[in-house]
A and B are shown apart, each in its own frame.
Chain A
Amino acid sequence: MTVLRGGTVGLVLMAVACAPSDRSPLVPGGSIAAGRAAVQQFSCGTCHAIRGVPGAVGQIGPPLTGIVHRTLIAGEIPNSPGNLAGWIRNPQAYEPRTAMPNLGVSDSAARDMVAFLYSLH
């Protein structure tokens, strides 16, 4: 019985140790899991192809997989967590002619979305 219980504890510990961390190393305070959920909720995938998001095969805007490696957002803004979150929240503030709509994304949801997108290498 003790052996069984010890084994169970060990398995749980192994599972916890192997699970990827939800905290983003690049975006302070950003949750990767919450960002993945927000990306689905706001249906980013209708316009953007995003690896790891079911149905996110959009061909209207640029693919977002690997966006962490790009220098510029929308071809004009330096790619930083703050700028990307700002772009997600209000794209027209940076580029008035963009088709990307302002979807009323909250500050924290935008930060989580950046954390998730920056985790896709």
Chain B
Amino acid sequence: MSRLRRLCLVVLVATACHAPMSVVAAAGPVARSLSHLTWVLIVASAVVFGVVVVLMWAAVMRRPTTDAAVDLTPRSARIPIVGGAIIPAVILLALFLVSVLSERQYPVETRVSAQVFTVIGHQWWWEIHTADSGAAFANELHVPVGQVIEVRLLSADVIHSFWMPTLHGKIDLIPGDTNRIRLIADKPGVYRGQCAEYCGLQHANMAFTVVADAPDTYLRWLASQQQNAAPPADSLQRAGAALVTAGRCAVCHTIRGTPARGMVGPDLTHVGSRLTLAAGTLPNNAAAMEAWITNAPSLKPGTGMPALPQFSGMELRAMTAYLEGLH
């Protein structure tokens, strides 16, 4: 028994703690009801599998009978009907009911006011807006713990799917339509999500991060994100700002408070505050930023960001110093 318990613990730890996207490591009520449903389905499937194996074993081991002794009475003919149709139908119906009931636990009621975010899927990144401010984010969403969050999901190109198993089930982003989900994060933490509908070459590198913070921390973050870009702090950053806001970068990217007003790529006003670059492809640090600026297609083939080999080492360092300073 203790060995079995230890094995279960090992399996749980392996699935829950070391996997950033585990369905059994729920951090909110919606995901928790899905997690319960997952366990119900796993246990039910295991029981059915065990019973079927035992029955097959019994059939194989049964003493052979002569042809004359084969029982063809109506009573015995009922076995395949009961065992093959009625019992499976009852089990499937019960699982269907459990599934419907667990979905009804979603906190979807619209009477409760919610913090609304709009998420727009792009190949291959996530554009995020709050409903009541001019702030635009990319690939990273901060939410207040314990409050109802409504996420409205749109697509700018093809079908994507917003999947963050620790907080909610999958929901598609459909071009021309708006899907809505409501979720609550009840534990502070950093949660990983991932596009779950194949959307092209870099589908696998289309991740996003949800950071659940205490409400006051969240409000501070929101206030700072709503501000314009920080001015360059030193001569290196000034040189970088001149290159970024007046050069090629400004054609595609917006940095609020500067001449950069491009609308093609992610808003970079607070890019230095983000945890990752290129939708979870790279950690956000100076090395990754330089590499991304000078040769993004080598790191994420197919990305809309072009290779920019014209910049010298010093120019790259200056641009990186400016961008990493945009908190």
Contacts and interface: CB of A to CB of B under 8 A. Distances in A.
A98 B287 CA distance: 12
A103 B298 contact: no
A43 interface: yes
A58 B291 CA distance: 8
Contact of A101 (B287, B295, B299): B287
A119 B314 CA distance: 31
B125 to A, nearest CB: 17
Interface in B284-317: 285-288, 290-292, 294-295, 298-299, 312-314, 316-317
Contact of B316 (A44, A96, A99): A99
Interface string B196-229: 0000000000000000000000000000000000
Interface in A78-104: 96-103
A43 B314 contact: no
* B interface, size bucket: 10 to 19
Contacts, number: 51
A101 B282 contact: no
B285 A99 contact: no
A73 interface: no
| Interface SS of B by simple majority | helix
A51 to B, nearest CB: 17
Interface in B138-176: none
A interface secondary structure, majority? loop
Contacts of B290: 47, 60, 99, 101
B283 interface: yes
Interface in A20-46: 42-44, 46
A87 B19 CA distance: 35
A59 interface: yes
A47 B313 contact: no
B294 A99 contact: yes
Contacts of B316: 99
Contacts of B282: 43, 46
A61 B118 CA distance: 39
B288 A46 contact: yes
A99 B286 CA distance: 10
Contacts of A46: 282, 287-288, 291-292, 299
Nearest to B283: A43
B123 interface: no
Given A43-B283, A43-B285, A60-B294, A99 B313 contact: yes
B320 interface: yes
A57 B287 CA distance: 14
Interface string B256-286: 0000000000000000000000000011011
29 contacts: A42-B285, A42-B287, A43-B282, A43-B283, A43-B285, A43-B288, A46-B288, A46-B291, A46-B292, A58-B291, A58-B299, A59-B295, A59-B298, A60-B294, A60-B295, A60-B298, A97-B312, A97-B313, A98-B313, A99-B294, A99-B312, A99-B313, A99-B314, A99-B316, A101-B286, A101-B287, A101-B320, A103-B285, A103-B286
Given A46-B282, A59-B295, 13 more contacts: A43-B283, A43-B285, A43-B288, A46-B288, A47-B287, A59-B298, A60-B295, A96-B314, A99-B312, A99-B314, A100-B313, A101-B317, A103-B286
- Can you list the 6 inter-chain pairs with the closest CB atoms, starting with the nearest? A99-B313, A101-B286, A46-B291, A59-B298, A99-B316, A47-B291
